[in-house]
């Protein structure tokens, strides 16, 4: 394992150094006017239902789960909770080497976080990788990830919020299915555990994701589910946190939204910021070519009473009415307690009338 760690370390370090040199050369080339068609590097693939995806092995009781922090630093209390959560589900825990590292708001340097990510993918002892928390920092890693290494060692990568960047970039570059679900330190409610186990352990096909009963009875208007435009649509699942998806717009890691069921959520953003990010998505890439939009819970995204602003509902309804896509607000995912697990890259069916999202295939390899 020491040789393995050394190999992964030197690859990651060289990748960072090469990228810095590339950046200098790119800047020089731009100044010289030698880049005639830089947009050609952002070619998109296809989201056809016939697309072949790479599915990780399903998780089994007794498997070892690797905990990493690819974004922000995690507190002692948060890490303790993550460990207990993993063990409560019947798994063993392995902490990444640098999980206690810290550099300002990040969980260590880019190199340390990258090393932990790579090491967990190649570690034969580790069956799946669970991000202990989200927080800012994952987009910083995207240029330096060894996507070929990940494709050779496919494993379930689980998390949400800032982990959106890793899930979508890895799927785009390797076709590996990732899992938008709770982070290790999340509160694992009965609803959250049921959906997590159904997708990653039981490997259910035709798993129907219904609204959480707790969410349906929540008095907060942010939890009020509603059909915006009717549709019963099939497509591959793509998406995650709106802020992260907007930050990836115009980069080579921007998701291919064409013909997908795009799912989005956010937390703590004012309505005008929601509008700005949706506008950014629509003005870059092919966001408007999605088959349908599935919105989660936009928690704490209302307009303060003292501000002259549209409400969250007015912002979302007004914007989505212009896209004329089947769309639904209020599915049980996001920065909330009851959240389902959504496999990025898997075919699904959204029924806006029945308020359900059905996974049409297994998200994991179920062969023993």
Active-site residue set:
161, 265, 335
Q: For the chain, give the longest Cα–Cα distance.
A: 61
Edge-first strand listing for the sheet containing 92-95? 92-95, 64-68, 128-131, 156-159, 178-180, 342-344
Q: 254 near 280, Cβ under 8 Å?
A: no
DSSP class of 177:
-
Helix (H) or strand (E) holding 241: strand 232-241
Query: Which residue, 332, 333, 236, 320, is CA-closest to 281?
Result: 320
Pairing of strands 92-95, 128-131: unpaired
d(CA 214, CA 205): 25
Q: How far is CA 188 from CA 157, 185, 231, in A?
A: 17, 9, 31
DSSP class of 30:
H
d(CA 79, CA 227): 38
Q: 260 near 291, Cβ under 8 Å?
A: yes
Reported residue count of the chain is 368
Q: 253 near 344, Cβ under 8 Å?
A: no
Contacts of 229 (CB under 8 A, 6+ apart): 320, 321, 324, 325, 326, 327, 352
Count of CA atoms in the C-beta half-sphere (13 A) of 364: 26
Q: 70 near 166, Cβ under 8 Å?
A: yes
Count of CA atoms in the C-beta half-sphere (13 A) of 202: 12
């Amino acid at each position: 394992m020491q040789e393995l760690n050394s190999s992964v370390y030197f690859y990651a370090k060289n990748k960072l150094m090469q990228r810095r040199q590339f950046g200098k050369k790119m800047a020089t080339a731009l100044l010289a006017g030698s880049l005639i068609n830089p947009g050609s590097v952002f070619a998109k693939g296809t989201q056809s239902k016939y697309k072949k995806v790479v599915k990780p092995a399903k998780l089994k009781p007794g498997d070892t789960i690797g905990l990493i922090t690819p974004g922000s630093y995690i507190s002692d209390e948060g890490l303790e909770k993550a460990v207990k959560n993993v063990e409560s589900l019947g798994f063993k825990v392995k902490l990444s080497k640098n999980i206690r590292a810290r550099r300002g708001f990040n969980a260590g340097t880019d190199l340390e976080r990258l090393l932990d990510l790579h090491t967990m993918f190649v570690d034969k002892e580790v069956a799946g990788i669970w991000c202990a928390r989200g927080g800012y920092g994952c987009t910083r890693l995207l240029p330096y990830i060894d996507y070929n290494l990940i494709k050779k060692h496919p494993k379930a990568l689980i998390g949400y919020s800032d982990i959106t960047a890793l899930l979508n970039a890895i799927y785009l570059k390797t076709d590996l299915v990732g899992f938008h679900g709770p982070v290790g330190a999340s509160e694992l409610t009965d609803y959250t555990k049921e959906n997590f186990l159904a997708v990653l352990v039981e490997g259910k096909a035709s798993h129907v994701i219904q609204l959480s009963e707790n969410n349906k009875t929540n008095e907060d208007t942010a939890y009020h589910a509603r059909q915006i435009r009717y549709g019963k649509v099939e497509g591959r699942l793509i998406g995650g946190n709106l802020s992260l998806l907007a930050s990836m717009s115009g980069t080579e890691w921007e998701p291919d939204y064409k013909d997908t069921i795009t799912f989005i959520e956010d937390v703590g953003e004012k309505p005008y910021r929601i509008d700005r990010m949706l506008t950014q998505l629509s003005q870059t890439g092919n966001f408007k070519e999605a088959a349908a939009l599935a919105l989660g819970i936009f928690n704490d995204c209302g307009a303060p009473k003292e501000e002259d602003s549209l409400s969250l509902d007015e912002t979302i309804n007004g914007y989505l009415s212009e896209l004329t896509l089947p769309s639904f607000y209020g599915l049980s995912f996001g920065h909330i307690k009851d959240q389902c697990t959504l496999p990025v890259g898997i075919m699904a069916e959204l029924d806006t009338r029945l308020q359900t999202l059905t996974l049409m295939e297994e998200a994991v390899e179920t062969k023993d």
